[in-house]
């Protein structure tokens, strides 16, 4: 049992940056799946694409609009989240992760999200819900703010891993690194898919970066102390939180729960956290 627990820990990122819902719900389920397929020649990218297919199936069930179909949609959305956790876990256990794989993981998440929110919009239009505004407007606004919340969570998590843990490059360094890799790929014939993925990822990084590209140095110990709690708080508006709330809303056939969370509570949470985060990082820089 101890060896199994150690293997589980080895499959995780640093638990400091793991979202609470991932750590206690989705990743344990993903680890069971990983153990079942570990001996087979299944790659992390193949798992990512499996998750994308299941995400599209979830969107199809949402589009049906019935209470029963929403339950199945929620279940398949949960399976998508489990597979999303699994690809990174098996990559860490097999030491088979690649930069392109990291981009593919993000890309299939977007494809799944598009399928699910499109299906949700179609399903709510078919159903007899009495919303104060158009169901499509609620879905589009929700998709926009979910994306914004996830970008901010991803940005501050990467910054924490870079400045507090020294495990990855900061977002700005990551952008420079991928820009250099794209320049090298341009010298090579072929690999159009890899080039396209890197261009898309660079665009994503550019959205995250709203300040100067000048590198900011922090005291690692102080950054860890002051941001450890904040990174956990950011996770409550990260992708897993939105997935979990939509699953609950789907099981209960009450999509208003999801809209109240995404358009109301999560936006208030985002604004408060951003103000605290900016002031916290400013205080750390002033002490350095």
For the segment 43-94, what is each residue's pLDDT rounded down to a tens digit? 888 899 999 999 999 999 999 999 999 999 999 999 999 999 898 888 877 7
- Measure the CA–CA gap between 263 and 257, rounded to whole angstroms: 10
* % of the chain surpassing 70 pLDDT: 85
- CA 13 centroid distance within chain: 14
Q: Is 109 helix (H, G, I), strand (E, B) or coil?
A: helix
Q: Where are the domains of the chain?
A: 2-170+215-287, 171-214
DSSP state of 253: T
Say if CB 36 and CB 80 are below 8 A apart: no
Q: How far apart are CA 30 and CA 191, in angstroms?
A: 31
In degrees, rounded to 5, the angle at the alpha carbon of residue 175 between the alpha carbons of residues 171 and 180 is: 150
d(CA 170, CA 125): 42
- Angle between helix axes 44-64 and 67-94 (nearest 10 degrees) is 170
Cut 0.85: pTM above it: no
Pairwise CA distance, residues 272 & 149, whole Å: 12
- Per-residue pLDDT at 212 exceeds 50: no
CA distances from 95 to 5, 88, 160 (A): 18, 10, 23
pLDDT tens sequence across 135-180: 999 999 999 999 999 989 988 998 898 888 877 656 666 777 777 7
CA distance 188 to 178: 15
Name the helix (H) or strand (E) containing 245: helix 239-252
Superfamily the domain 2-170+215-287 falls into = CDP-alcohol phosphotransferase transmembrane (TM) domain (1.20.120.1760)
72 vs 24 pLDDT, higher one: 72
Cα separation, 70 vs 124, in Å, equals: 10
Q: Give the C-alpha separation, 45 to 100, whole Å.
A: 9
Quote the pLDDT of residue 186. Answer: 72
H helix count then E strand count, the chain: 13, 0
Confidence band, pLDDT 50/70/90 cuts, at residue 95:
confident
């Amino acid at each position: 049992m101890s060896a199994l627990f150690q293997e589980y820990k080895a499959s995780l990122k640093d638990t400091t940056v793991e979202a609470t819902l991932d750590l206690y719900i989705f990743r344990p389920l993903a680890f069971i799946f990983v153990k079942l397929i570990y001996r087979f020649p299944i790659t992390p990218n193949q798992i990512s694409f499996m998750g994308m297919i299941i995400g599209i199936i979830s969107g199809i069930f949402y589009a049906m609009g019935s209470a029963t179909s929403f339950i199945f949609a929620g279940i398949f959305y949960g399976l998508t989240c489990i597979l999303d956790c699994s690809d990174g876990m098996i990559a860490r256990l097999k030491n088979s992760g690649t930069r392109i794989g990291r981009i593919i993981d993000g890309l299939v998440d977007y494809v799944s999200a598009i399928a699910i929110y499109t299906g949700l919009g179609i399903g709510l239009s078919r159903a007899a819900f009495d919303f104060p505004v158009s169901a499509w407007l609620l879905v589009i606004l929700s998709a926009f703010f979910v994306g914004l919340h996830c970008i901010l969570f991803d940005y501050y998590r990467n910054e924490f891993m870079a400045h507090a843990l020294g495990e990855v490059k900061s977002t700005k360094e990551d952008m420079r690194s991928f820009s250099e890799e794209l320049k090298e790929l341009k010298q090579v014939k072929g690999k159009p898919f890899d080039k396209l993925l890197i261009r898309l990822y660079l665009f994503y990084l550019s959205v995250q970066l709203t300040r100067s590209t000048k590198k900011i140095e922090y005291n690692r110990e102080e950054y860890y102390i002051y941001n450890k709690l904040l990174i956990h708080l950011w996770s409550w508006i990260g992708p897993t939180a939105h997935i979990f709330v939509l699953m609950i809303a789907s099981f209960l056939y009450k999509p208003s729960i999801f809209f109240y969370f995404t358009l109301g509570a999560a936006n208030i949470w985002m604004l408060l956290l951003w103000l605290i985060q900016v002031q916290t990082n400013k205080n750390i820089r002033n002490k350095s």
